Amino acid sequence: MMTFTDLASVPSHPSEPFTNRLRLAVAAYLARFKGSSRQHTESDLRCYLAWCAERGLDPLAAQRPYLELYIRWMQEIRRFRPSTVSRRFSVAAGFYRTCVLDGVLPHSPAEHVRRPAVPAESPTLGFTHLQFEALLTAARESANPCDFALVAMLGLLGLRIFEATSANIADLGEEHGHRVLRVCGKGTKIVLVQLPPAVGRAIDRAAGLRDRGPILLNTRGSRIGRHAATRRLRHLAGTAGLQTARAHPHMLRHTYDHARRWRRPARRADRRPSRRPAHHDAI
């Protein structure tokens, strides 16, 4: 009898799985998104399509057991976190749901797949107050002025990494007497984030004499990517002597969320200024 492992190595009928029919289905699904949401969805869907290609499987001919195997592969081979497994599988399930809507498939093979349980509260911990102060100090003393702006935008504004790296100098402005940064969030949603004076100074220092282009630059003078920004953050954490396993940008967002529990949200440019968190004084 064929085992569950044997099933993973059995190819579907075509030797070249990526047909024009599949390309059209992928394009139709990605067309439902825009901006950074499309980029992230495309990245997650590419992971599933690459998994299918390695096994000679036509994604449009996949059945439920193959989707179960895909989840086990992410859990046991790649060792992704439950939230990552759930997100990436949701993209694959959304792709098949769109195929059903467009009449490409009669039903979705992902419909009855058992998904991993994701805790309601994120297990990711932010930096403590002292750790964040040490990280700010290391970033301020760095020879690269963009390091300080990066840490300030992530930890004092609570921006996502792609929001910080995609910010441009032209996005700076004033609203109701307050200096603000125009941020393009998920789904191209535009919000105005009020800039505390310390963050404004960090951004001005990173921009220098430039009047256009990205705020954050890499060592080659072009826009820094989110992976390069993550590497810079880990380098700063090492310089600051932080004893933490693989520091990543979302830890700074959790640090910001923890600090704002006792104050009003800052992402409201049409209201009075919010009180600043205690670690703003660290700057």
Rg (CA), the chain: 22
Structure confidence at residue 250 as a pLDDT band (50, 70, 90):
confident
Domains of the chain: 4-101 (no CATH), 129-282 (1.10.443.10)
Name the nearest CA neighbour of 195 among 210, 209, 187, 206.
206
pLDDT above 50 (res 266): no
State residue 36's pLDDT score: 78
- CB count within 10 Å of CB 108 equals 20
**Average pLDDT of 69-83?**
93
Higher pLDDT, 261 or 72: 72
pLDDT above 50 (res 35): yes
C-alpha 36/C-alpha 96 separation (Å) is 21
Largest Cα–Cα distance in the chain? 73
Close Cβ partners of 25 (under 8 Å, ≥ 6 residues apart): 60, 95, 98, 99, 102, 104
pLDDT above 70 (res 235): yes
Token couple for 47: 């992971």
Structure confidence at residue 121 as a pLDDT band (50, 70, 90):
low
Structure confidence at residue 215 as a pLDDT band (50, 70, 90):
very high
Higher pLDDT, 14 or 73: 73
pLDDT above 80 (res 10): no
Residue 233 · residue 146 · CB < 8 Å: no
Name the nearest CA neighbour of 109 among 84, 138, 89.
89
Q: Which of 62-66, 118-122, 127-131 comes out lowest in average pLDDT?
A: 118-122
